[in-house]
């Protein structure tokens, strides 16, 4: 299971590997290591999966994912599997149909084997919940895997799957990728359409996206998940990214945002590992410039927590309004919903005006720079028994998610971001960097990530030891 998805796909296409053999190896790997990390949940019956794999061997090839096992993040629907969302409210809910991007994966030939673990409702960048328990970091089982795509990142790092989907509102495709030494991509907002349910205009924060152990697989999966949906008004057309990923990349001008002028607290070693990686990027022929904080961090934070609480409250109102279900919600969910319920129309307008001001400011930045860079997290993977960090470098974190403030510059305005593995600290733990570009620059970011990967290849250079 050390091979990447494209290599496995080519081997199946050439008859050098059967889907049944790959499924058997996948199930054996899951049986050997999943008990140590708890990344894959709701695993389907092995006999059924082997039967599907043998059927794939006898069927015409559907696409590049033909015969490739995948597990879907447990916030999304895969027909016939539970979608628990990590909540006891939904622990027995079975999906009647696929979400749009899952249907696209199946259409490309993927074999859906189960789900990957997530925090309850995806809230909080630490993957634990009362339904499936906690997911451990494969580099230190006593530490967090991050989240909310923690199960997906660990399943990749532990070689249980070769590619995975995730979703990202507040760093959920970036923080766990960085903490598990893999690649994660938040696409331009709208590139991967959400489900065409309820309001399709107002909530422009979260998106689904790909995770992989190299940028080529990342690009291929992004292209499979993305594409227009005529039922939704805000699709971003970014074009195919995989066909251009190997093209030579002109020298890039990159802005290093550091600690945002002192606004972001970093745990010891985060700045150092980031700056070492920046020197390596410069050695590839690019220019990295340190720039001052381009926007007021507190204004941005106020906008973010207002719009996020608004979105969470709207999505979970039916659970909150039922006293029996409300009693099962975790404190972070209650806090978000009750904040959202108190918001006025003018407060939402002010938050969106701040968001608009920041977007206008980025158009000026991207006239000077091809990409912006920030760490993927402000601290190292923390103790698994903590819900979230309460302080970083002596600075108190005043909310359950303030410690992830570093990811909101991109999330707030829907910019594409690729997490690249940045290496390992003296503590033996991995870290990542966010490559941030203007809207629809997904392909350009992936080309930069591929150049980095060819020079470093951290996922294969230092995989976790679980055997």
* Residue 299 falls in which region: left (phi positive, over 0), alpha (psi -120 to 50) or beta: alpha
Residues 6+ away with beta carbon under 8 Å from 104: 224, 225, 227
172 part of the active site: yes
SS3 218: helix
Q: How far is the C-alpha of 380 from the C-alpha of 44, rounded, in Å?
A: 33
Structure-derived torsion over alpha carbons of residues 233, 238, 240, 245, reported in degrees to the nearest 10: -160
Cis geometry, peptide bond prior to residue 273 (ω within 30 degrees of 0): no
Catalytic residue among 76, 149, 162, 172: 172
Catalytic residue among 9, 42, 73, 236: 73
274 part of the active site: no
Structure tokens at 406: 């570093």
Catalytic residue among 9, 76, 148, 188: 148
Structure tokens at 347: 């407060």
76 part of the active site: no
Structure letter (DSSP) for residue 205: S
Sign of the dihedral through C-alpha 411, 415, 416, 417 = negative
- Angle of helix 345-368 relative to helix 297-320, nearest 10 degrees, comes to 130
Cα angle, residue 234 at apex, residues 232 and 237 outer, rounded to 5°: 105
CB 63 within 8 Å of CB 85: no
Q: How far is the C-alpha of 132 from the C-alpha of 33, rounded, in Å?
A: 16
Structure letter (DSSP) for residue 66: T
Residues recognised as catalytic: 73, 148, 172
């Amino acid at each position: 299971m050390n091979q990447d998805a494209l290599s496995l796909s080519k081997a199946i296409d050439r008859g050098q590997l059967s889907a049944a053999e790959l499924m058997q190896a996948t199930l054996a790997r899951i049986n050997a290591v999943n008990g140590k990390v708890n990344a894959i949940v709701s695993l389907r019956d092995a006999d059924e999966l082997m039967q599907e794999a043998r059927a794939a061997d006898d069927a015409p090839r559907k696409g590049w994912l033909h015969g490739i096992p995948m597990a879907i993040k447990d916030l999304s629907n895969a027909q016939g599997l539970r979608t628990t969302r990590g909540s006891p409210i939904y622990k027995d809910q079975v999906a009647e149909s696929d979400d749009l991007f899952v249907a696209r994966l199946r259409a490309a030939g993927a074999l859906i084997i189960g789900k990957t673990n997530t925090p309850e409702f995806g809230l909080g960048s630490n993957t634990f919940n009362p339904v499936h328990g906690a997911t451990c970091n494969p580099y230190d089982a006593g530490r967090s895997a991050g989240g909310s795509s923690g199960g997906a990142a660990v399943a990749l790092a532990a070689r249980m799957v070769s590619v995975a989907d995730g979703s990202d509102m507040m760093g959920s495709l970036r923080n766990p990728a960085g903490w598990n030494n893999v690649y994660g991509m938040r696409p331009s907002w709208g590139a991967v359409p959400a489900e065409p349910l309820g309001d399709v205009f107002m909530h422009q924060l979260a998106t689904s996206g790909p995770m992989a152990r190299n940028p080529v697989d990342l690009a291929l999966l992004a292209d499979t998940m993305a594409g227009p949906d005529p039922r939704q008004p805000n699709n971003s057309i970014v074009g195919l990214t995989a066909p251009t990923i190997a093209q030579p990349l002109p020298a890039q001008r990159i802005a290093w945002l550091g600690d945002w002028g002192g606004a972001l607290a970093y745990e010891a070693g985060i700045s150092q590992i980031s700056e070492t990686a920046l020197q390596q990027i410069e050695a590839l022929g690019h220019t990295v410039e340190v720039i001052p904080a381009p926007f007021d961090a507190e204004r941005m934070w106020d906008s973010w927590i207002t719009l996020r609480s608004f979105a969470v409250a709207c999505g979970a109102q039916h659970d909150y309004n039922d006293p029996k279900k409300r009693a099962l919600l975790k404190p972070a969910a209650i806090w978000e919903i009750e904040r959202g319920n108190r918001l006025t129309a003018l407060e939402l307008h002010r938050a969106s005006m701040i968001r608009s001001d920041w977007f206008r400011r980025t158009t000026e930045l991207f006239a000077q720079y091809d990409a912006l860079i920030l760490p993927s997290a402000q601290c190292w993977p923390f103790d698994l028994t903590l819900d979230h960090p309460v302080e970083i470098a002596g600075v108190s974190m005043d909310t359950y998610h303030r410690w992830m403030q570093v990811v909101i510059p991109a999330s707030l305005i829907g910019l594409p971001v690729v997490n690249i593995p940045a290496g390992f600290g003296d503590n033996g733990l991995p870290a990542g960097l966010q490559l941030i570009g203007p809207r629809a620059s997904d392909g350009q970011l992936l080309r930069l990530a591929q150049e980095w990967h060819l020079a470093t290849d951290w996922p294969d250079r230092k995989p976790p030891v679980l055997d």
